[in-house]
Amino acid sequence: MMMLVVVTATSFLSGCVWHDYNSPKIEGVVIHQGQALAGVKVALDDGSRESVTATTDEQGHFSLNPQGEWSVFIPIGPQDRFLHWSVIIYPTGTEGITGYEGGGIGGFFSGYSSSDRVNLLCDVALVNERADKPQRNRICRAVPAN
């Protein structure tokens, strides 16, 4: 009887291990009124910290590659998951500007994979134009991949 209890309890606690990401890979270009900006710090905030940073090259290009994390899933109780990430841009001599936000809510396996991508075009000239408008993505917009 004890063996039956142990086997049954173990089957309820069985789970799986997987590697997922709290945000997609993000690539983009930072411009000011159509001109590429070099040397601008760009950071990925995964909801709890700036997890990845990059600096734009001469063409204003940046790439943020999240490392992801290993997780263990044990199916006990509700498994809702909320993901939120932001791209923060630091133009020279300014504080960080939230350029783009993304995320969602779903089940436990609702994260991103290593093949998920977002491509952005970020115009820091829009900061002053849109400062009074409470919108999520003030200065960056998603664009098709090249």
- Residue spans of the domains in the chain: they are 24-142
Q: Two tokens at 74? A: 């044990």
β-strands 25-32, 117-123: how paired?
parallel
Average the pLDDT over each of 5-19, 30-44, 58-72, 76-90 and give the range with the smallest value: 5-19
**What is the assigned CATH class of domain 24-142?**
mainly beta
The pLDDT of 114-129, averaged and rounded, is 83
Residue 119's pLDDT is: 92
CB 133, CB 107: distance < 8 Å: no
Contacts of 9 (CB under 8 A, 6+ apart): none
The residue to which tokens 């133009």 are assigned? 91
Q: Two tokens at 139? A: 């200065």
Residue 84's pLDDT is: 80
Confidence of residue 91 (pLDDT cuts 50, 70, 90): confident
50 versus 70: which is more confidently predicted?
A: 50
Contacts of 36 (CB under 8 A, 6+ apart): 29, 30, 56, 58, 59, 60, 61
